[in-house]
């Protein structure tokens, strides 16, 4: 009787371990560990991907900062904040510099 109970206990543990192993295997597949290891084994590809990613992040940062700066300048020049002496003079000079630059280019 204890022999059958031990056998049932072992079968239950075996099923539990099997289910856990399947869950771990699925998690590893979803995490794409094999692709990551493959990438680590090819350092030239890893370097290339990092260079391309860095260039993309840098370009995105430059474009984003330019658009943000342009929007801020536009809003400030269109608002009544130009009536403030310190900020108004600064923005007036900034607008003048930009206009001179655009005249020189055109």
Residue 1: predicted pLDDT: 58
Residue 10: predicted pLDDT: 85
Residue 38: predicted pLDDT: 86
Low-confidence ranges of the chain (pLDDT < 50): none
Residue 9: predicted pLDDT: 82
62 within some domain: yes
6 within some domain: no
80 within some domain: yes
1 within some domain: no
Split into its structural domains, the chain has a count of: 1
24 within some domain: no
Q: What is d(CA 45, CA 25) in angstroms, rounded to the nearest whole number?
A: 26
Residue 50: predicted pLDDT: 94
User: What range does the domain containing 74 cover?
Assistant: 32-105
Residue 89: predicted pLDDT: 78
Is the whole model's pTM more than 0.75, yes or no?
Answer: no
16 within some domain: no
21 within some domain: no
Contacts of 92 (CB under 8 A, 6+ apart): 82
Q: What is d(CA 94, CA 86) in angstroms, rounded to the nearest whole number?
A: 12
12 within some domain: no
């Amino acid at each position: 009787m204890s022999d059958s109970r031990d056998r049932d206990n072992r079968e239950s543990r075996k099923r539990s371990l099997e289910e856990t192993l399947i869950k771990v295997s699925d998690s590893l597949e979803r995490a794409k560990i094999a692709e990551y290891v493959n990438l680590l084994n090819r350092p030239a590809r890893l370097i290339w991907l990092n260079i391309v990613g860095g260039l993309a992040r840098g370009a995105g940062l430059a474009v984003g900062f330019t658009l943000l700066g342009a929007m801020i300048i536009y809003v400030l020049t269109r608002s009544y904040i130009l009536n403030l002496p310190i900020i108004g003079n600064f923005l007036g000079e900034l607008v003048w510099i930009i206009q001179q630059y655009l005249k020189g280019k055109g």
